[in-house]
């Protein structure tokens, strides 16, 4: 195919940043080798891409080649006895659990949507609502194959070149192309989880209840009403969940079928899923979102408070997939997310400040999510012993510069508190601030490894330009 025919608009999931790129989408190893050789011959920078679920510029770079790995999507080996799977990088989390659930296995770490590919998820070292208990996805990767931009193949594992293994996972596609991953899945005895909902009237209570729950429940996630002020600042609802033990589910065969997990295809049996986002669009403005947040908090803190119920694993895990294309409500400007990770001792102070700054600027977050985290052994780790707060913001085209400045204001105290940012969610942080979160020479070590594996600096992205070059 001619280069001109490959030209496409490639954007971050939030639709707020993007650029035109020359897209290659190989379907097998031969196609991948061919793509790499064409890119090398053209001397073109190359951004790696999975399903494109990173909110910002991690999987794209303007006027560069883009290697879309989502077509490399074969399951290579499945061991239903031991729960070990070998997959190509383009297999999505959704395709993975659909294949394994009937055998009683579930991915040990899943994200809020099932769309990410395993390659993209390992390259970001994703976390789930059980980060405190299970760590990141990389901690369940037994082995991976990596192809360097020059075409050399390496096999890495915690035992084989462990330093490089721990650097590749989480290095946001800067050291090579993950072409195979072996993962250990988690045994489950039911397709249901037991969920407990608890309301918290303020930020301090929300953080305390989250921390207390982390050792008793597999999954802990908090939602905050980011419109609440004063004594109610940071109020929210927590959801704790645990897998059912053997014998607790009277019909495990039924709940463990992929069909039983499927999210409903219509709303109230009427509105087709594909059109649901249109119902949300009229409310996606400040008064509408204030009302929705208030209604959600009031119902959760009264009728729903301290309720325990059972829910399918998919419904609990992938809440954000209920309404397909919901992000379209944010057009034309799109949305950005800012997720900061703050050590436990400083979390309340930093998050309180973030919520207040957003309210003062007149740009409260439309969706705010809290999680509890732990450190992990990967070179470019974003994990801390503390909490993360993920804040979604619409990007009003006329206030874009103001929003970017506000995110910078939110981020400063995170750096001072010894915190970190999640590259999968970032589009707006300036290099200087971001680079300060890598305190132990991680960026220098990544640059050394990159000089070894990618000496021509072929692999690039908007994010990598900022982090590695400080541009």
Ligand X SMILES: Cc1cc2nc3c(=O)[nH]c(=O)nc-3n(C[C@H](O)[C@H](O)[C@H](O)COP(=O)(O)OP(=O)(O)OC[C@H]3O[C@@H](n4cnc5c(N)ncnc54)[C@H](O)[C@@H]3O)c2cc1C
Residues that bind ligand X (CB under 6 A): 13, 47-54, 58-59, 69, 89, 111-113, 116-117, 119-121, 123-124, 126-128, 172-173, 177-178, 320, 424, 461
Nearer to ligand X, 128 or 386 (CB): 128
Nearer to ligand X, 395 or 424 (CB): 424
Nearer to ligand X, 112 or 343 (CB): 112
Nearer to ligand X, 189 or 326 (CB): 326
Instruction: Return d(Cα 376, Cα 135) in angstroms, integer.
Output: 7
In whole angstroms, how far apart are CA 414 and each of 158, 327, 426, 462?
Answer: 31, 27, 14, 22
Nearer to ligand X, 149 or 343 (CB): 149
Minimum gap (Å) between residue 326 Cβ and ligand X: 9
**Contact in structure between 219 and 316 (CB atoms under 8 Å):** yes
Nearer to ligand X, 113 or 157 (CB): 113
Instruction: Return d(Cα 79, Cα 47) in angstroms, integer.
Output: 33
Minimum gap (Å) between residue 284 Cβ and ligand X: 15
3 state SS of 335: strand
Minimum gap (Å) between residue 297 Cβ and ligand X: 21
Minimum gap (Å) between residue 327 Cβ and ligand X: 8
Minimum gap (Å) between residue 66 Cβ and ligand X: 9
Q: Could you tell me the two tokens for 289?
A: 């979102």
3 state SS of 307: strand
- Residue 21: phi, psi to the nearest 5? -140, 165
Q: Could you tell me the two tokens for 211?
A: 């921390």
Minimum gap (Å) between residue 414 Cβ and ligand X: 17
3 state SS of 364: coil
3 state SS of 449: helix
DSSP type of residue 171: S
Instruction: Return d(Cα 339, Cα 368) in angstroms, integer.
Output: 9
Instruction: Return d(Cα 202, Cα 127) in angstroms, integer.
Output: 25
Which residues, in sequence order, are bridge partners of residue 236?
200, 224
Nearer to ligand X, 174 or 293 (CB): 174
Nearer to ligand X, 181 or 188 (CB): 181
DSSP type of residue 459: B
Tell which residue, 66, 116, 119, has the closest CA to residue 89: 119
Minimum gap (Å) between residue 236 Cβ and ligand X: 17
Instruction: Return d(Cα 117, Cα 99) in angstroms, integer.
Output: 14
DSSP type of residue 42: H
Nearer to ligand X, 50 or 236 (CB): 50
CA 338, 344, 349: angle at the middle one, nearest 5? 65
Place of tokens 């639709």: 15
- Residue 417: phi, psi to the nearest 5? -85, 5
Minimum gap (Å) between residue 210 Cβ and ligand X: 15
Minimum gap (Å) between residue 369 Cβ and ligand X: 8
């Amino acid at each position: 195919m001619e280069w001109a025919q490959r030209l496409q608009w490639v954007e971050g999931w939030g639709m707020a940043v993007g650029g035109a790129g020359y897209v290659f989408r190989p379907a097998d190893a031969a196609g991948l080798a061919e793509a790499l050789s064409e890119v090398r011959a053209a001397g073109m920078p190359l951004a790696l891409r999975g399903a494109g679920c990173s909110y910002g510029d991690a999987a794209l770079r303007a006027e560069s080649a883009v290697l879309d790995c989502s077509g490399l999507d074969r399951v290579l080996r499945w061991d239903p006895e031991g729960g070990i799977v070998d997959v190509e990088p383009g297999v999505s989390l959704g395709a993975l659990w659909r294949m394994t659930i009937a055998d009683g296995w579930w991915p040990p770490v899943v994200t809020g949507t099932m769309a990410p590919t395993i390659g993209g998820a390992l390259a970001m070292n994703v976390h789930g609502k059980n980060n405190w208990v299970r760590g990141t996805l990389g901690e369940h990767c037994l082995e991976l194959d990596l192809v360097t931009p020059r075409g050399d193949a390496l096999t890495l594992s915690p035992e084989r070149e462990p330093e490089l293994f721990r650097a590749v996972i989480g290095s946001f596609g800067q050291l090579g192309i993950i072409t195979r991953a072996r993962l250990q899945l988690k045994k489950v005895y039911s397709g249901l989880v037991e969920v407990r909902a608890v309301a918290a009237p303020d930020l301090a209570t929300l953080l305390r209840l989250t921390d207390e729950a982390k050792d008793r429940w597999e999954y802990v996630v908090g939602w905050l009403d980011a419109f609440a002020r004063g004594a109610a600042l940071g109020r929210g609802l927590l959801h704790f969940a645990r897998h059912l033990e053997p014998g607790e589910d009277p019909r495990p065969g039924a709940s463990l079928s992929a069909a039983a997990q499927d999210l409903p295809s219509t709303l109230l049996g009427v509105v087709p899923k594909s059109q649901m986002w249109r119902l949300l669009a009229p409310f996606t403005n400040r008064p509408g979102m204030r009302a929705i947040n208030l209604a959600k908090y009031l119902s959760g803190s009264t009728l729903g408070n301290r309720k325990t119920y059972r829910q399918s694993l998919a419904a609990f895990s992938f809440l954000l997939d209920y309404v397909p294309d919901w992000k379209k409500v944010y057009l034309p400007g799109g949305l950005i997310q800012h997720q900061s990770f703050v050590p436990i001792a400083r979390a309340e102070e930093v998050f309180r400040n973030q919520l207040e700054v957003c309210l003062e600027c007149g740009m409260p977050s439309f969706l705010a999510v809290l999680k509890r985290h732990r450190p992990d052994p990967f070179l470019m780790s974003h994990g801390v012993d503390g909490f993360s707060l993920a804040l979604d913001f619409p990007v009003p085209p006329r206030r874009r510069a103001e929003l970017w400045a506000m995110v910078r204001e939110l981020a400063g105290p995170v750096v001072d508190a010894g915190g970190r940012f999640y590259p999968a969610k970032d589009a707006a942080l300036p290099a200087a601030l971001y680079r300060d979160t890598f305190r132990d020479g991680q960026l220098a070590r990544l640059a050394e490894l990159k000089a070894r594996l990618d000496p021509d600096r072929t692999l690039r992205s908007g994010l990598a330009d900022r982090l590695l070059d400080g541009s």
